[in-house]
Structure 1
Amino acid sequence: MAATQVNPTRMELTRLKRKLATAIKGHRLLKDKRDELMREFLDLVRENMELRKKVEREIQDANRNFVLAKAGMSEEILQAAMMAPKQEVYLKKDTKNVMSVDIPVFDYTTRTADKNDIFAYGFAYTSSDLDGAVQSLSDTLPDMLKLAEVEKSCQLMASEIEKTRRRVNALEHVIIPETQQGIRYITMKLDENERSTQVRLMKVKDMMLNEAHHYDEK
């Protein structure tokens, strides 16, 4: 805030003091919010790393079983077994608010609660490796949804942390210093005006005393 843009009046001084008090309080609250967001973000990052490792292991196991199933079955039987899925999955999305950030919450339901409904083929002509691969992918689904939820939450948290950081820096390095500078400028100008007024009053008083003394002499 350039000093030349400040109107040096007591009303403006009162307004700037209120603005400064609000800015300092907002700066403190935003710093607390930023610190709490960082704590939540780091917890999510650690959870994300563990989930990603777990999901990658489960997918590797499923792929290994598919490779073994393909080695022990003909291509035609494998394609026929995997042609039409039997179970259906219905995804539900909700949100929860964490430090003013709406992060996603994923849940799902299946068409039936029977766990054997994931096998869309008979067991007479297929290998147990194929059963293990299908079962592995079915078991991986909840972890994959949780991973997607956590990764999206990390992205949203990181974006909010960056916005909060910019606001904290703007208050700390721009708004608060400029407001303090404006308050100092107005205070200095008001003090100068007050001293000038006192000097003028003293001069007027001296003139009046001189005039009164001169009239007394006459």
Structure 2
Amino acid sequence: MARLNVKPTRMELASLKERLELSTRGHKLLKDKQDELMRRFIILIKKNNNLRDEVEAELIESMKEFVVAKSLINESFIEELFVGTETNVELSIQEKNVMSVIVPEMNFNVKEAEVSSDVQYGYLNSSSEMDDAIERIEDVLPKLLELSEIEKTCQLMADEIEKTRRRVNALEYRMIPQLQETIRYIQMKLEENERSAIVRMMKVKDMGQST
């Protein structure tokens, strides 16, 4: 490991020791952060996978019900059933801080005025099967929103984990070893200078005694 290009002085040695202490402390804090991010990330990934499987299964079943219900209604009535159907959904996205990662917190609200009745189309040409299919699809919406929130959080946390990993590695494999190597070098040079100074003093003393 190449050492830093500094002068071997006691002042520089003190400064490098302080930098080493700060770097070591920073490395520990970042490593702890990385470990905690990984722990939370793994929990979220498991939750994401389970929720995705659940949502996909419910969507498949609800679409099957919709196809069956559609087959029981005259094709000419299908468009008429939904032409007047209108539901306004308000989506609000807040932000929260998770281990210095800003992640979204999503909430949606279906306006009461538009959902005062279960389904807003003509009942004469509809069927209970169609009503059930539509209701089941609507019931999946909250889980879809939660799934999108979790997936976005996982993406942001994965990015932060990678950034933290790079910083941990930079400290662990480059900065800290460089500081340690430079400190050893300066200590060695200072010891050599002290020994040389002692030798010179002894020679001067010997020369004074011989005269």
Indicate if the aligned counterparts of 2:4 and 2:178 stay in contact, CA closer than 8 A. no
Residue in structure 2 matched with residue 173 of structure 1 by the alignment: 173
Indicate if the aligned counterparts of 2:87 and 2:115 stay in contact, CA closer than 8 A. no
Q: 1:117 to 1:95 in 2, by over 3 A?
A: farther
Shift of 1:115: 4.8
Structure 1 CA distance for aligned equivalents of residues 110 and 117 of structure 2: 10
Structure 1 CA distance for aligned equivalents of residues 98 and 3 of structure 2: 41
Q: Give the number of equivalent residue pairs.
A: 211
Structure 2 CA distance for aligned equivalents of residues 3 and 147 of structure 1: 50
Percent of aligned pairs with the same amino acid: 48
Structure 2 CA distance for aligned equivalents of residues 35 and 207 of structure 1: 65
For normalisation by structure 2, the TM-score amounts to 0.94
Instruction: Give the RMSD, CA atoms, in angstroms.
Output: 1.6
Residue in structure 2 matched with residue 47 of structure 1 by the alignment: 47
Residue in structure 1 matched with residue 59 of structure 2 by the alignment: 59
Structure 2 CA distance for aligned equivalents of residues 189 and 25 of structure 1: 27
Q: Give the counterpart letter for 1:99 in structure 2.
A: M
Q: 1:159 to 1:175 in 2, by over 3 A?
A: same
For normalisation by structure 1, the TM-score amounts to 0.91
- Cα deviation digits, residues 65-93 of structure 1 (max 9, x gap): 21012211122211121234322100000
- Equivalent residues in 2 for 1:136-151, closer than 5 Å: 136-151=136-151
Structure 1 CA distance for aligned equivalents of residues 72 and 4 of structure 2: 86
Structure 2, unmatched stretches of 5+, are: none
Residue in structure 2 matched with residue 109 of structure 1 by the alignment: 109
Secondary structure at the counterpart of residue 6 of structure 1: coil
- Cα deviation digits, residues 135-154 of structure 1 (max 9, x gap): 11211111000000001111
Indicate if the aligned counterparts of 1:87 and 1:112 stay in contact, CA closer than 8 A. no
Q: Give the counterpart letter for 1:57 in structure 2.
A: A
Indicate if the aligned counterparts of 1:87 and 1:117 stay in contact, CA closer than 8 A. no
